[in-house]
Amino acid sequence: MFISRCRPHLGLRGRLSIAQTMRCFVSEPYPFRVTSFKDVSEAEGRLISEQAKQPQTSVSLQTLMQTGRGEFLNRTYTDDKSIENEEATQATEKILIQVAGFLRRELPIRLAHRIQDLECVPLMSEMESVAGVKQLYTQSFLELVQFDSKITTPEQEESFAKLVETIYDRHSKVLVQMARGAYEVRDAIRRKQHEEGHRATKATFDQMESTHEFLDRFYLCRIGIRVLIGQYLALRQPPIENYVGIICSKTSPYHVVERAINDAAFMCTRKYGEAPDVTISGRLDLTFPYVPTHLRE
């Protein structure tokens, strides 16, 4: 897997524009490093710290598509001339091994950064739900670093795919757990303000700014992790026309908007008996490479 370096920027309220998410899937590192971690052994804490010191790799959608097509195989298999004639319609064993090798190196780094964030984020780190998320990330991190450091055979690649699919499913409820943690923070702040009055208010507001920055960083990087894993797992499936993994080379904004209009009209009609007409204007034939599910959600 080969990369392009870039720095994403968050929009208002932590929402990302299409252009921003297309540029790369990585976030800024935490401003300081953690030297010790709760609920992990000293050896595991050192391992997390070592991985968290390494920078995360920015990966653009273009790079994901090129890698899925096998355009970078010659950089990994420098002595294998047969790859020049490989079909680009579906991922071959060599492509899957190359992508798996990249994820084996990259995912522990990204998870270590998230564990570090979860360990020291103001207010939220003390919440039970957030501690549960940190435990999930720690479990996944340890499973990854215990896997073979180099993936060179189809058998290793298949075993690695099963591991990351398990991790992908395990982390599917993280958004719900983090939302629960936010509610826990709100209740804790209200109790503290009730007990200490205005003295606690200023300190709480100062902490909340850091907490908002953490949430922006956490959700952005979670998207990156799930896109990388989702792309790899999709490459292992039978090919679909105009798709490279989860990326559609001809994503149509018109069709996405049309589907959203139909869904909204259905709910409107069910609730109020009718729905307003909506007219879509502009370049209705426009298409571009993107992950359609991200637009629909």
- Tokens 């091994």 correspond to 97
| Cα angle for residues 149, 153, 154 (degrees, 5° grid) | 120
3-state secondary structure of 224: helix
Closest CA to 20 of 283, 287, 224, 176: 224
Alpha carbon distance 208, 202 (integer Å): 10
Q: What is the pLDDT of residue 149?
A: 93
**What order do you get walking across the sheet with 247-251 strand by strand?**
243-244, 247-251, 288-290
Q: What is the pLDDT of residues 208-266, one digit of tens each?
A: 788 888 999 999 999 999 999 999 999 999 999 999 999 999 999 999 999 999 999 99
Alpha carbon distances (Å) from 14 to 9, 95, 272: 9, 34, 33
Q: What is the pLDDT of residues 163-207, one digit of tens each?
A: 999 999 999 999 999 999 989 988 887 887 777 665 555 556 667
pLDDT exceeds cutoff 60 at 17: no
